[in-house]
Structure 1
């Protein structure tokens, strides 16, 4: 069996079909109904189609929506785009134990707290992101990007929250910045059954970008 799902640019499901095979003929009726609906309500036909089986679906989609042939611009298998490199020769540090995390994070925070005194600075920006396995409600990896350090903390290997990680989350001197960073921080806290009050200084980039007029719709914009 297979499940075919068609969504629009807003992430809204326009068509969903549970079929007995992966043959596209089984969803032809549904696609034709979708074409009628788009025309009936004055919507233009799809301009771009994303699929996880481009070679297999291409002919079917071109026959269904002939205008797609005019915008078909296949990409070469290899491009001349340069590989992105970290600035200044930064090398991420992978921290796999609580002891490593405490030692390294304590040293990094001490460095910037000392700088805050020397430079009379009230805060430092730190990029925060979390990764987790599909279906999990907690985080497995915490990524911290300081100005001169990148730390990858494998909290999946740490049964209890490292003391210095708690300290980092609590202090508002380090502003934790990111897209959907609030959800990332909450996953980390849930991993250790900690309440939301443990974390301070969280700064959501998407809300700020929208408030400043850089983006209009958070659902259709990638940061």
Structure 2
């Protein structure tokens, strides 16, 4: 079974099985070739099977294109009462599970097989690293962003790839967005620690009143 007859409820479990079977250099290469052959031309009749690299990255491309349209500023000539049509809004939980399963499978295959990693990166029809950097700039769930980052880290294992990833990181908005988030998180952490230290200092100096007042609050 190549995955083309799978019901939706078995799609993620099937990908997880492929991931488990790809824990080795030879098995990862076999999985890569299977998913490559399942693409256009390999499935017969010119159709693309749902378990193939063509389908995986084609789906990521459609999500990215849809989310990027959502990010565009509204035209001043646009009717404010008109609801945008022609693209999806957000990602459903079921779709999120599928996308994460695809990324985890990609991580395993690309981690074990350097040949697969290079072919994935160089394929001009898939462009995985460009799509992953693009999704990081979109409003998507944090779980998906985390798996995008992990997948990019796997591609960076190849010396011939890592420098282009650095350039993509420098030219993208990702480092600015994540840098601001990390700075804010650090500030919040320092504020929280400072507040806790202040409370402990107050409690040490006023043990009796603090305990009695806390009991009275809990009772009421």
- TM-score bin, normalised by smaller chain: 0.3 to 0.5
Greater relative contact order, per chain length (Cα 8 Å cut-off, separation 6+): 2
- Scaled by the length of structure 2, the TM-score of the pair is 0.33
- Scaled by the length of structure 1, the TM-score of the pair is 0.33
